[in-house]
Structure 1
Amino acid sequence: MTTGRGVMMDCKRILLAVDTSENSMRAIEYVAQMLGGGCGGEVELLHIVRLPERDMYPDEEAFDAKLCEQEEESHAFLDKARDILLDGGFTDEAVTERQLCITAPSIAQHILRIQKEGGFGTIVVGRRGVSKAEEFLFGSVSSKVVHYAKNCSVWVVG
């Protein structure tokens, strides 16, 4: 499928945007169950890590320790996610991983940028467990992705 701007969108290319939450794990399991049995699709696991504010730590050592902790948690989660997708029937070549560290506040904008650049036909996100009040005040990543996505389908798994 080609969009109006000539960018090729591939319906079998899935961008699976995850954090380390239970809802992300459910989204991974859902994709593995629904599409893993030899559909010929490709999945890119995208974990966007928001870097901690440097001012929140008393010294560089504490800040660096937090960065290492986040990196280890991210790698462990992505390894587990990959295993679930492979167990679900995806081939090793069909599953890629990308970790992006950001300081800017909008995770949704980064997801949408990567979707557009990579020509992904589907974005899959887990519904984050924020309260209605928090969602009203700050929005949620999944709500923003659904609202602003163009030329692709969006699956929100809860």
Structure 2
Amino acid sequence: MPVKKKILLAVDDSVHSKQAVQYAVRMSSFVSELSYTLFNVQPAISQFLTDEAKTSLKAKFALEKTRKKRKENAEHLLADYKSQMIRMGIDEKRIETKTLSQKTGIAKDILEYAQEGLWDAIVVGRRGLSRAQEIFMGSLTSTLAEHSKLIPLWIIDGEISSEKIMIAIDGSQSSLRAVDHFSFIASQNPNIKATLLHVVPGLRDVCEIDIEDRDGDIEDIFVQGDKKCVDRFLVHAYQKFKEAGIRDDQIEIREIKALRNVGKAIAEEAEKEDYGTLIIGRRGNSKAFFMGSVSKYVLDKSADRAVWLVP
């Protein structure tokens, strides 16, 4: 019997949220028993107005009016998204809506609500800041990516047409959780296909000290060790696929060598082969894997595709 899955669609009135909703609807074509919760965090109300309302009747009325208006706007927004999803073929019974006033911050409020409800994934559109602006200013997307440590985060960038799926693996527990998440989401689908991409790293990717005088024997030993690690990993990965009802012939394995760095190799492969969805573990064998040389690079360079970050 198919297992029910539920995703939390964190939305606002931006084009990025519209693209996230479109992607989430498309997922219903290969994810059985998928339900949605459209979730909106209302903008924060001025602390000045909140403080004034404690002593001023006029300010109190203004505060209540503001709260009512923001709730109405949020409910109207969610109703519009729900209608759009129904027109796209989603059963109304599979869509819920929820809006809350902002408490501590939009990203934290989304994470807290998702954790309380035990959603299987949070889906969010990448906000309009450029990559350079995100570095200096931060964004909702980057904050969610930094702090979502329990629930997988699906970050949708642009309009995605490709149905091809890549899972980046490195033999780590984190990449095994990425495989597990995909297996759960895609379970019992006889038509879904995915590529496991293993990028063989060089010594520079595992050693913080630049090795000028590289020894060929050391490099060979390292590569052999990496191969053994990934071979052991694949045994566990295929077991998860089997338990999810995914056949061996639905999975392709690709291996490439990192010419410069692992993150760049993954991003370039995704671009070259036109993968619409890229699934990657939040942290790999290297301590700097996430928000460092690999996952952060992949997220920064993945335009017009979905990146699933799995903790």
Tell me the TM-score normalised to structure 2 length.
Answer: 0.41
Structure 1 residue 25 corresponds to structure 2 residue 176: yes
Contact 1:9–1:120 (CA under 8 A) maintained in structure 2: no
Query: Which of the pair has more CA radius of gyration?
Result: 2
Contact 2:190–2:247 (CA under 8 A) maintained in structure 1: no
Structure 1 residue 153 corresponds to structure 2 residue 306: yes
Q: Give the Cα separation in 1 of the matches to 2:281 and 2:293.
A: 11
Contact 2:178–2:310 (CA under 8 A) maintained in structure 1: yes
Q: Give the Cα separation in 1 of the matches to 2:198 and 2:257.
A: 9
Partner in structure 2 of residue 86 of structure 1: 242
Partner in structure 1 of residue 118 of structure 2: none
Q: Give the Cα separation in 1 of the matches to 2:300 and 2:236.
A: 30
Percent of aligned positions that are identical: 24
Structure 1 residue 10 corresponds to structure 2 residue 165: no
Contact 1:9–1:119 (CA under 8 A) maintained in structure 2: no
Q: Which runs of 5+ in 2 are unaligned?
A: 1-22, 24-159, 205-210
Partner in structure 2 of residue 123 of structure 1: 278
1:38 CA displacement: 0.8
Distance 1:83 1:149, change over 3 A: same
Q: What RMSD, in angstroms, separates the aligned Cα atoms of the two structures?
A: 2.7
The alignment covers a number of residue pairs equal to 143
SS in 1 for 2:180: helix
Q: Which runs of 5+ in 1 are unaligned?
A: 2-7
Structure 1 residue 46 corresponds to structure 2 residue 201: no
Which protein, 1 or 2, shows the higher relative CO under an 8 Å CA cutoff with sep ≥ 6?
A: 1
Distance 1:148 1:67, change over 3 A: closer
Aligned residue runs from structure 1 range 98-137, under 5 A: 98-105=254-261, 107-128=262-283, 130=287, 135=291
Distance 1:63 1:143, change over 3 A: closer
Q: Give the Cα separation in 2 of the matches to 1:56 and 1:22.
A: 29
SS in 2 for 1:120: coil
Q: Which has the higher strand share?
A: 1
Quick one: which of 186, 190, 195 aligns to 1:35? 186
Quick one: which of 77, 93, 113 aligns to 2:233? 77
